[in-house]
């Protein structure tokens, strides 16, 4: 089948949830059994997200193939339940570096290289090449940023150019504000935005409207008139208790039928079983039978987007267990000031997620000690595993002064240390232990085996430091279980406490958690947080 394209643009402002819209469109097409994949374009000149600050930009997402990509990729994978590759991420940095190396090679001999047509042709060629390679029925392209930005202008122009020869459906996401004093949904900003899109030669097929409350009839009529669209093409995207409800909300508005019609796929039938399964999970998120309180002890907790995958993995595990998760975001520096008990008293379970840099690490260690001493279920993710090692070394094995050399270069006991292969690394981009790694579970009598029910597991990594093998024996002697190692046994991957729920992994299992396939360690952790009995 000839590949069709859906291009999703945003107008007015960022932060409206274009990633959720793209993911919902992907899921809807998946429910019709089309082979569908996304492409995300980001206009920044970074080659990838590897060197970006999660505090400014949100979490850096990691793919199996080591790609360090925008957090929207997490959203796509969570909805679609497919593994994506770095080819699906196009950035300004990648485009410019490739066009300049082509020019140096002499690909454009005699020509002056221009945005149009050289850059636009190169973008279209890349997109069509991927569609062909993966034999896609539909490719959904999310153009990052908003229409009018200097960074994405040439990309949007390329999409317009692509529509001359290919079947392309355009969707514009906009925002409809409601001014308190007037109590009216205002359409003027969207009217102006539509004008600027149409000036680019693009007439959107749909206008998706982000609003806090459902679109009013009057608003719809006005938007339809000013956008040259039939009223049913103005789609409501008002706030719902869970993002996983969005595809269903679109289907309720018959968006799926109209979209398929525009793609010349009007005869397609939805897989009712898939739809029912999705609805069932959404219902469990919206009205769960049980609730549990989980504390996430981190450093960027006031920017929850820097832990988006951890938050979503908890939602997925909760949906599996019919449990609502109340997340308590705890700043680790507050624990240093206030003490662990005060900050963590209500926690049914405690997570220390990934992180970099020394600030706040002692507070995280205090949280882990509190969990161990009070039998509160603990899940450590990457840095959370390294600090579980430090805590155990100091407080159980009596290795006073144990630390990671990331935080204390000359620590007395370097229980977490940099790999020899990392010592000389100067370039910061793409040089950590990245991507999917095979892990061997060493004991069937372990939390890890109970969770994964497999002797071999694959998880994604992003870190430079590792468990120092010199301390394997001493730590095991004090009662730590090393329950996962790399295939060659050279690196420790999973550690556990014995006799209580405490497990931590050098990997980031949250990156592979999907709405319909939750990460096993998170499911076990939530189950333990519901059940664990504390000593009196």
To the nearest whole angstrom, how small is the minimum distance from the Cβ of residue 383 to ligand GLN? 3
Of 256 and 406, nearer to ligand GLN (C-beta) is 406
Residue 464 as a binder of ligand GLN (CB under 6 A): the answer is yes
Of 309 and 442, nearer to ligand GLN (C-beta) is 309
Q: d(Cα 207, Cα 235) in Å, to the nearest integer? A: 6
Determine phi and psi for 197, rounding to 5 degrees: -70, -45
Please pick, among 88, 461, 463, 508, the residue that the annotation labels catalytic: 508
Helix (H, G, I), strand (E, B), or coil: what is residue 89? strand
DSSP 19-68: HHHHHHHHHHHHHTT--EEEEEEE-SSSSSSTTS-HHHH-PPEE-TTS-E
- The site string for ligand GLN over 155-184 (x = CB under 6 A, - otherwise) reads ------------------------------
Whether residue 57 lies in the annotated active site = no
C-beta separation of 463 from 432 below 8 A: yes
- The site string for ligand GLN over 369-398 (x = CB under 6 A, - otherwise) reads -------------xx---------------
The H-assigned helical ranges of 81-203 are 92-105, 120-133, 153-165, 188-199
To the nearest whole angstrom, how small is the minimum distance from the Cβ of residue 386 to ligand GLN? 6
Of 174 and 306, nearer to ligand GLN (C-beta) is 306
Whether residue 382 lies in the annotated active site = yes
From 45-53, 216-224, 457-465, 528-536, give the range in contact with ligand GLN by CB under 6 A: 457-465
Rounded to 5 degrees, what angle do the CA atoms 133, 137, 139 make? Answer: 75
Closest residue to ligand GLN: CB criterion: 354
Q: d(Cα 210, Cα 239) in Å, to the nearest integer? A: 8
Near ligand GLN by CB under 6 A: residue from 17, 38, 144, 355: 355
Beta-carbon contacts of 59 under 8 Å, excluding residues fewer than 6 positions away, are 71, 74, 305, 306, 307, 308, 309
To the nearest whole angstrom, how small is the minimum distance from the Cβ of residue 353 to ligand GLN? 7
Q: d(Cα 231, Cα 172) in Å, to the nearest integer? A: 15
Near ligand GLN by CB under 6 A: residue from 462, 505, 522, 526: 462
- The site string for ligand GLN over 401-440 (x = CB under 6 A, - otherwise) reads -----x----------------------------------
Residue 465 as a binder of ligand GLN (CB under 6 A): the answer is yes
Residue 463 as a binder of ligand GLN (CB under 6 A): the answer is yes
- The site string for ligand GLN over 295-334 (x = CB under 6 A, - otherwise) reads ----------------------------------------
- The site string for ligand GLN over 107-136 (x = CB under 6 A, - otherwise) reads ------------------------------
Whether residue 103 lies in the annotated active site = no
The H-assigned helical ranges of 306-404 are 308-320, 332-338, 340-344, 361-373, 383-395
DSSP 419-475: -HHHHT----TT-SEEEEEEEEE--SSSHHHHHH-SSEEEEEEEESEEE-GGGHHHH
Please pick, among 382, 397, 463, 516, the residue that the annotation labels catalytic: 382
CA count, 13 A, side-chain hemisphere, 27: 30
- Active site residues per annotation: 382, 508, 510
Residues lying near ligand GLN in the complex (CB under 6 A) are found at 354-356, 382-383, 406, 462-465
């Amino acid at each position: 089948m000839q590949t069709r394209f859906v291009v999703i643009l945003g107008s007015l402002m960022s932060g409206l949830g274009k990633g959720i819209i793209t993911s919902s469109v992907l899921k809807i097409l998946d429910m019709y059994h089309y082979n569908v994949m996304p492409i995300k374009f980001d206009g920044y000149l970074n080659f990838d997200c590897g060197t970006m600050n999660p505090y400014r930009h949100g979490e850096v997402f990691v793919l199996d193939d080591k790609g360090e990509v925008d957090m929207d990729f997490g959203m796509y994978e969570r909805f679609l339940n497919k593994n994506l590759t770095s080819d699906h991420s196009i950035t300004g940095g990648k485009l410019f570096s490739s066009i300049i190396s082509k020019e140096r090679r002499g690909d454009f001999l005699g020509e002056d290289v221009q945005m149009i047509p050289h850059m636009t042709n190169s973008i279209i060629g890349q997109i069509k090449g991927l569609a062909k390679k993966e034999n896609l029925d539909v490719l959904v392209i999310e153009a990052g940023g908003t229409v009018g930005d200097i960074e994405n202008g040439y990309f949007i122009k390329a999409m317009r150019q692509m529509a001359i020869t290919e079947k392309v459906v355009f969707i514009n996401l906009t925002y409809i504000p409601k001014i308190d004093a007037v109590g009216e949904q205002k359409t003027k900003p969207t009217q102006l935005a539509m004008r600027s899109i149409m000036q680019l030669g693009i007439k959107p097929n749909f206008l998706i409207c982000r609003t806090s409350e459902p679109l009013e009839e009057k608003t719809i009529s006005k938007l339809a008139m000013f956008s040259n669209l039939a009223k049913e093409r103005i789609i409501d995207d008002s706030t719902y208790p869970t993002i996983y409800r969005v595809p269903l909300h679109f289907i309720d508005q018959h968006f799926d039928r109209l979209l398929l019609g525009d793609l010349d796929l009007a005869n397609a039938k939805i897989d009712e079983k898939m739809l029912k399964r999705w609805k069932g999970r959404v219902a469990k998120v919206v009205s769960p039978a049980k609730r549990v309180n989980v504390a996430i002890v981190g450093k960027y907790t006031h920017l929850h987007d820097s832990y988006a995958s951890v938050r979503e993995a908890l939602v997925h595990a909760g949906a599996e267990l019919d449990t609502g998760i109340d997340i308590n975001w705890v700043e680790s520096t507050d624990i240093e000031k206030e003490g662990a008990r005060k900050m963590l008293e209500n926690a049914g379970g405690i997570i220390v997620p990934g992180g970099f840099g020394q600030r706040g690490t002692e507070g995280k260690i205090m949280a882990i000690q509190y969990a161990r001493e009070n039998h509160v279920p603990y899940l450590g993710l990457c840095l959370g595993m390294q600090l579980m090692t430090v805590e155990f070394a100091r407080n159980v094995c009596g290795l006073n002064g144990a630390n990671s050399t990331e935080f204390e270069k000359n620590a007395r006991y370097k229980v977490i240390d940099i790999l020899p292969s990392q010592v000389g690394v100067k370039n910061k981009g793409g040089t950590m232990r990245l991507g999917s790694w095979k892990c061997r579970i060493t004991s069937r009598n372990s939390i890890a085996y109970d969770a994964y029910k497999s002797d071999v597991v694959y998880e994604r990594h992003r870190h430079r430091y590792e468990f120092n093998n010199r301390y394997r024996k001493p730590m095991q002697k004090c009662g730590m279980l090393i329950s996962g190692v790399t295939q060659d046994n050279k690196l420790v991957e999973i550690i556990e406490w014995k006799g209580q729920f405490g497990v931590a992994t050098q990997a980031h299992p949250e990156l592979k958690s999907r709405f319909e396939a939750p990460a096993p360690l998170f499911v076990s952790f939530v189950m333990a947080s519901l059940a664990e009995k504390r000593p009196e």
